[in-house]
Amino acid sequence: MAAQICCVDQVRPGTHAIAGRWFCDEHFKKATYARAGFWRTGLIAIIGLLIFVAAVVALDAALQPQLGGSVLVLTGLLLAIVPAALWLVFFYQQDRLEPEPVGNVARMFVVGLALASAIGLPLTDQLFAVQDWLYTDPLTTWLASIFVTGAVEAFIIFATVRYFIFDSPEFDERTDGVIYGTAAGLGYATALNLQFILANGGSALGSGEVFVAEVALAHAAIGGLLGYFLGRAKLEQDPIWWLPTGLLLAAALNGLFLVLRGQLDSSTWEFAGQGGGLPTFSGLLLAGGLAIVVTAVVSWLMNRDIARSLNNQQPDVKQDPTVGDRQSNYAVIGAFAVCLLVGALVANNAVNRTKTFSVAGFTGAVPADFGIATGDGDAYRVIDSLGTGAEFAIQTPAIEANWDAADVATFLAGERASDYELYKILSSGQTTVNGKPAYTQEFAYVDNNGLTGAAPEVQQGVDYIFVENGRAVVVTMLTTPDYLADVEPQFARFLNSLKF
């Protein structure tokens, strides 16, 4: 058993114990101080933020400012920071007994923002690339929102508080965990909002401010919930599963919010100042409701825990609290690793999942999210209309009796050269696919998109040409150069699965 030294300042002798942790008289008083205004302050913070958003939307609708270029981007960046600033000011005011040093609260916000930018966003957007497969199907959306996006955001918030303030003597009240967790969550939210503004070259002020307020409210609530778990872990000695449970609960809540917001708020955001009408408030109301419920539940839980501490209802703990802290920390890291593993399995299934087909004597498998687009002259054609725009096609063109695969390639090149500008053969050669000899040709051309009115774009593709018993089979991949590296592995699996 550890010596009876105050677990907060590590200097004064402990005179009171809470679940295995000793406190001096001063810090015991702080650890068991119930804040009557916690719920009221949280509600005021939410209402204040909603009023600010309403004011911005009203001014945008009334004045319809014509902003553009750097002015629009700078205005968007400023408004992206304001919700976090307002929330932090309100929550900072509720810490009455011993106001937290402004530097500590600001540091948690900055560290949360920095870790989100350096680790969180690269994990979700680059390593997992969730934007490419998140909406493959409802189950994938739920699992990815919880085990990838939700878990990463929850762990970054946890790491901000656990590794940058948890061991500080300033962390001496239960409410401190909520304050620091909220600040870290708002840091993550601000990183997301800044990314949103910069990636889109600005945003219409009204709809843009609604979006950033949604993100701020949701992450403040999630950070506050996780902060409750951290605050109790600092002042009590909980089982090893306590903090991992907090991480998983925060991840699940984050995922739930992302899915529900996507279902409720289906409107298209207006970018680069192109306005028109009022934005939808469904997602904002959802985020506000989430923040209110979490604030009420956390307030009740803290008051319950304080009452238990004052009544000495926690069980005696024999283990050294510092050992328990290390074990809980490892358990959180382990839980996060499991989440990432589940997320990797979900991502692999979403990206590589296929569906079989059997048509016109051809059988095989194509990516599950490709849709059928068979037209005149096609035996079978599919397109990734919601992602890369890539097309896989099987055609059986009529040929002369003495033609070989190279003659078919020449025929195709002539037809395409008359249909498209700047058609060019990049390479050609012989290969074998599933034991069948094939002639390949890589090509590129410019598609004017005359029927759709869209801007001309470069298309790149490859033909695999088979000629057997006077019959030609042409298997083609089409995509843009930007997506070529992503589509080629999918086409290789499609080609190798093909039987005819």
pLDDT digits (tens, 9 = 90+) for 362-400: 999 999 889 999 999 999 999 998 778 999 999 999 999
Dump pLDDT digits (tens) for 314-350. 666 555 666 667 889 999 999 999 999 999 999 998 8
Residue 418 structure tokens = 């008359």
What mean pLDDT, rounded, does the chain reach?
85
Separation CA 130–CA 177 (nearest Å): 30
Q: Indicate the pTM of the whole model.
A: 0.78
What digits encode the pLDDT tens for the residues 94-120? 555 455 566 788 899 999 999 999 999
Range scoring the smallest mean pLDDT among 74-88, 239-253, 314-328: 314-328
The β-bridge relationship of strands 471-479 and 436-447 is unpaired
Lowest-confidence range among 51-65, 149-163, 402-416? Answer: 51-65
Residue 48 corresponds to which tokens in the numbers above? 């204040």
pLDDT tier at 271, thresholds 50, 70, 90 = very low
Tell me, which fold does domain 355-497 have in CATH?
Answer: Protein Transport Mog1p; Chain A (3.40.1000)
Output the CA torsion sign for 162, 168, 169, 171: negative
Start-end of CATH 3.40.1000.10 domains in the chain = 355-497
> What is the rounded CA–CA span in Å between residue 194 and residue 211?
11
Q: How confident is the model at residue 3 (pLDDT cuts 50, 70, 90)?
A: low
What H or E segment, with its residue span, contains residue 381?
strand 380-383
**Structure token digits, residue 346:** 């979900």
Cα 163 to Cα 178: distance, rounded to the nearest angstrom? 15
Cα 213 from Cα 4, distance rounded (Å): 46
The per-residue pLDDT for 334 is: 97
Give residue 22's pLDDT. 77
Give 359 or 35, the one with higher predicted confidence: 359
Cβ atoms of 295 and 42 closer than 8 Å: yes
pLDDT higher than threshold 80 for residue 275:
no
Q: For the segment 409-435, what is each residue's pLDDT rounded down to a tens digit? A: 999 999 998 888 789 999 999 999 999
189 - beta bridge partners? none
Return the higher-pLDDT residue of 77 and 476.
476
Quick one: pLDDT band at residue 1, thresholds 50, 70, 90? very low
What is the DSSP annotation of 272-291? TT---SPPP-HHHHHHHHHH
